[in-house]
Amino acid sequence: MRSVRVSWGAAPAVLALTALSGCVTTQQRNARTVLMNERTIASETAVRVTRENPLIAVAGVALVHATDGTALAVQLRNTSTRPLTDLPISVGVTTATGRIVYLNRAPNIDYFDAHVPAIAAAGEITWVFTTRRQLATTARPFARVGIAGSPPTTTATRLPRIEVVPVDASAPGRVLRVSVVNPSGIPQYGLPVYAIALRAGRLLGAGRATIADLDGGARATLELKLLGSSTATTVRLFAPPTIFN
């Protein structure tokens, strides 16, 4: 049994794992190592989206205010007929005085705090960014999704399927216990898990966690903290893949 590392900020996580072995070529291992190195290098530079991606529709952006930080949830839709991967994203707020404040325009942050891992063809996900900063309730959030680099860091004709479901089906509290399964034969590295909590369609809570390693055929159970209210009645979970081949 192989170990799995999970992290979100400084919070503890509870894990369980079962793994299935598969045949991986040296070429595949090398390609994945190169990709991870490229992402590490890219994260050393601040992301600045200057040209918005015409294939991505930003369907909604919302803030969740909490005593221990702020979450920003962005609903994204891929309007194209192919998967899109490694999309740069800039998020921030416009203050009551009209000043623009970027929340993720900084070097040396997690790569997926400034990139959307993947969106399936004609698919939709909600991407979540969290910060310990307290933002005024009058601040208006925004999100801009850019075009992948040229040449692109990654391309995919299809995306590996990642399954994520609540372990406890009862009404959620501020800490969710969720199960993440990788039924594909493709290992996932730095896999983000996003959660939003809703009541009557209104966003009340949001959060994210990261699974550092999840083998093909493996399962992880983790605890994910929500920023915001614990009175929501619906939870939606997203775990877009990060490794595609």
Find the radius of gyration of the CA atoms of the chain: 17
Confidence at 3, pLDDT banded by 50, 70, 90: very low
In a domain, 153, yes or no: no
Of 158 and 1, the one with more pLDDT: 158
Q: What is the pLDDT of residue 96?
A: 95
Examine the domain organization and report whether 14 and 103 are in the same domain. no
Q: What is the pLDDT of residue 226?
A: 92
Examine the domain organization and report whether 67 and 22 are in the same domain. no
Assess whether pLDDT exceeds 70 at residue 132.
yes
Share of the chain above pLDDT 90, in %: 72
Domain boundary among 88, 122, 145: 145
In a domain, 243, yes or no: no
Average pLDDT over residues 126-152: 93
Examine the domain organization and report whether 74 and 140 are in the same domain. yes
d(CA 129, CA 105): 12
Q: What is the pLDDT of residue 135?
A: 95
In a domain, 151, yes or no: no
Examine the domain organization and report whether 29 and 93 are in the same domain. no
Q: What is the pLDDT of residue 151?
A: 75
Q: What is the pLDDT of residue 13?
A: 34
Examine the domain organization and report whether 141 and 112 are in the same domain. yes
Which residues span the domain enclosing 234?
Answer: 6-38+158-238
Domain boundary among 113, 145, 177: 145
In a domain, 212, yes or no: yes
Give residue 18's Cα distance to chain centre.
23
Average pLDDT over residues 40-63: 96
Q: What is the pLDDT of residue 170?
A: 54
In a domain, 170, yes or no: yes
Q: What is the tens place of the pLDDT at every residue in 56-99?
A: 999 999 999 999 999 999 999 999 999 999 999 999 999 999 99
C-alpha angle 181-183-189 in degrees, rounded to nearest 5: 65
Assess whether pLDDT exceeds 60 at residue 122.
yes
Tokens at 105, concatenated: 């325009």
Nearest C-alpha neighbor of 198 from the set 167, 166, 171: 171
Report the CATH number that the domain containing residue 84 is assigned in CATH: 2.60.40.3230
In a domain, 176, yes or no: yes
Confidence at 233, pLDDT banded by 50, 70, 90: confident
User: Average pLDDT, whole number, for the chain?
Assistant: 87
Q: What is the pLDDT of residue 167?
A: 87
Examine the domain organization and report whether 18 and 75 are in the same domain. no
